[in-house]
Structure 1
Amino acid sequence: MSVRDLLVLGSASAVPTKARNHNGYLLRWDGHGLLFDPGEGTQRQMAHAGAAANDVTWICVTHFHGDHCLGVPGIVQRIARDGVAHPVDAAFPASGLPYWERLRHASVFRDTEVIRERPVSGEWMALDTGDAPFSLVARRLSHPVEAYGYRLEEPDGVTMLPERLAERGVRGPLVRELQEHGRVTAPDGRTVTLEECSTRRPGQKVAFVMDTRLCDGVGELADGVDMLIIESTFLDEDAALAAEYGHLTAGQAGRVAKEGGVRHLVLTHFSERYRPEDEHRFRDEAAAVFGGEVSLVHDLDRIPLPPRRVAKPRPPQ
């Protein structure tokens, strides 16, 4: 059975707290596992969450501040120790290559050859995902150091309409032929096209936006996604501080979600400056401007992707 969900391995910002570990997010997608920003302690958090090194097929680092990358050595060494056989692609800002190399080889261990480095550069870059059932792009953001957000997209598909097939006498092996070739000859000699018997099934989309000020890249990544995983380090009362340090507020995250037509907004990366009793304010500020589903995450939360969008069938022909 395919699984599409987000495992939250950590949700603090620069400083971990008793309740929140450094960053770490495992997006599970039909047998693939995209590990975003593994901060310190990620390996242990994965154990608590029931995830294994063998689940990881991508490591995506947004930038090289410690709370977003200090877990890389443990993850790489665990991949090696557990004998992970499949390739693990590692995306990270190309300008941070020296930091990646230090983290990748931080201590003595029996190395692995499955890690494939995918340095990211420029304003926008499409990553080679091979035969994976999704595309992955990186978009430059606005932070004091070079930082990128990531967007995963599933191609649109089709949903067959049984009543339309029945009306045209298309059944059994003819259905598969129709799906594969786009047209088929029905038993009565008519040519039946795929467009007549199907409707478009929108592919699911997820965006991952960490440390950044508001900028064009944030909106582009968030546009039309089913799930937006986004930092909300500060409350709106500290918006000036957020801008100074290159971060977002909860209210800004809500506005990004509203303007982008996001379905599920996931707030994370909370500053340690706020008290536990202030937590609800992050959700409240985002929900004041965004009317969709809002999740304020905690470590080890599992958040399923929203159900697929339903497209309206084409008019009968």
Structure 2
Amino acid sequence: MSVRELVVLGTASQVPTRYRNHNGYLLRWDGEGFLFDPGEGTQRQLIHAGVSSTDITKICITHFHGDHCLGLAGISQLLSLDGCPHPVNVFFPASGEKFYHRLRRASIYHDRADVHGHPITEAAAATDLHEVWAGEVGGKGLALSVLSLSHGVPTLGYRLEERSGWTLLPDKLAAAGLRGAVIKQLQRDGFVELEEGRRVNIQDVGKPRRGQVVAFVMDTRLCDNAFELARGADMLICESTYLEEDAARAKDHGHLTAKQAAQIAKQAGVRTLVLTHFSRRYERTAPFLAEAREVFTDGEVVAARDFDVLGLPKRERPKKAAAGAKPG
């Protein structure tokens, strides 16, 4: 069964609280499971969320501050303990490769999981979306790309994008006399040549289907790359460590406010904005929602809570990003 949803495992920033664990986000995408930024305690959070470690197929680390990576040690051991039956690919900034290896071998255990590390250089992700993985999931093409962000250490943002395609219309297929195996050929090649010399193109019997997009922007100041990662996203999972009253503090520490996260969502044409990575200085998230909603009025805003399960919005025609959108 096709499942596309975000399972929130933790929403705290540098220090967890009684109600917020360190970061952790599992994005289910049909047969794939993308685990973003497994902070300390992610192993236990998976259990509480009812998620098996064997659901994880990719791990994406934005940077090597502890709240975004310390859980990799426990997850590495859990994958082996549970006998994960498939390879797991781990993507991370190349500058932190020594930390990656330390976390993978943080203690003694029988390492029998098939885990592959993929270091990504700053140069590769500096100015243009850099594809780090592509495959076919549920019969549709899917690609994972990265861009560098503006934090105190090398940091990556991630963008998961489904290839656009076509939705075939039964009435037009019938009118064109197409059925059976020839329809699969049409989907594969984009056209079919019929025996009577007649050619049918896929656009004659279908309508464009925009692929879904999810963006993950964590630990950054406002920068052009954050807007590019979020462009046209159905869901943007975005740090909002501070409120606007602490904007100077946010800039000094390489973070965003809820208002700035909303600016990214608005100018990039996002549909659903998920706020997370809250500083422990704030007990409530209602002010984050209020601040973001004042700016981002065209879509949904969610202040994530640990163990929320958020479905991806159903496909629709994308909104146009504002012309010449730049950081404010």
2:93 and 2:122 in contact (8 A); partners too: no
The equivalent residue for 2:245 is 237
Percent identical: 54
The equivalent residue for 1:107 is 107
Distance 2:302 2:158 in 1: 19
The DSSP-based 3-state class of the residue aligned with 1:220 is helix
Distance 1:47 1:300 in 2: 11
The equivalent residue for 2:287 is 281
- Residue 109 to residue 9, structure 1, CA distance change in 2 (3 Å): same
The equivalent residue for 2:235 is 227
Q: Does 1:159 align with 2:167?
A: yes
What is the CA deviation profile of residues 156-194 of structure 1, one whole-angstrom value per residue up to 9, with x for unaligned ones? 111001222222222333323322333335587532221
The equivalent residue for 2:50 is 50
What is the CA deviation profile of residues 82-135 of structure 1, one whole-angstrom value per residue up to 9, with x for unaligned ones? 111211001111001111111111000001351101001124232133455411
The equivalent residue for 1:117 is 117
Amino acid at match of 1:303: L
The DSSP-based 3-state class of the residue aligned with 1:17 is coil
1:232 and 1:253 in contact (8 A); partners too: yes
The equivalent position to 2:254 in structure 1, one of 220, 229, 246, is 246
The equivalent residue for 2:296 is 290
The equivalent residue for 2:307 is 300
2:244 and 2:259 in contact (8 A); partners too: yes
Distance 2:236 2:247 in 1: 20
Q: Which runs of 5 or more residues in structure 1 are unaligned?
A: 312-317
Following superposition, the deviation at residue 248 of structure 1 comes to 0.1
The DSSP-based 3-state class of the residue aligned with 2:160 is strand
Superposition TM-score, scaled by structure 1 size: 0.94
The equivalent residue for 1:314 is none
The equivalent residue for 1:39 is 39
The DSSP-based 3-state class of the residue aligned with 1:100 is helix
The equivalent residue for 1:3 is 3
Distance 1:42 1:54 in 2: 14
What is the CA deviation profile of residues 52-96 of structure 1, one whole-angstrom value per residue up to 9, with x for unaligned ones? 110011111101111111101000000011111211001111001
The equivalent position to 2:189 in structure 1, one of 163, 178, 181, is 181
Following superposition, the deviation at residue 203 of structure 1 comes to 0.5
Q: Does 1:134 align with 2:142?
A: yes
Could you tell which deviates more after superposition, 292-301 or 123-132?
A: 123-132
Could you tell which deviates more after superposition, 241-250 or 184-193?
A: 184-193
Could you tell which deviates more after superposition, 225-234 or 168-177?
A: 168-177
The DSSP-based 3-state class of the residue aligned with 1:152 is strand
The DSSP-based 3-state class of the residue aligned with 1:241 is helix
Following superposition, the deviation at residue 22 of structure 1 comes to 0.4
The DSSP-based 3-state class of the residue aligned with 1:129 is strand
1:169 and 1:187 in contact (8 A); partners too: no
What is the CA deviation profile of residues 257-278 of structure 1, one whole-angstrom value per residue up to 9, with x for unaligned ones? 00000010000000000123xx
Could you tell which deviates more after superposition, 131-140 or 193-202?
A: 131-140
What is the CA deviation profile of residues 292-314 of structure 1, one whole-angstrom value per residue up to 9, with x for unaligned ones? 10111100000000001258xxx
2:79 and 2:113 in contact (8 A); partners too: no
Distance 2:217 2:189 in 1: 39
1:204 and 1:225 in contact (8 A); partners too: yes
Q: Does 1:263 align with 2:271?
A: yes
- Residue 101 to residue 177, structure 1, CA distance change in 2 (3 Å): closer
The equivalent residue for 1:309 is 316
What is the CA deviation profile of residues 183-233 of structure 1, one whole-angstrom value per residue up to 9, with x for unaligned ones? 335587532221211111111000001100001110110011110000000
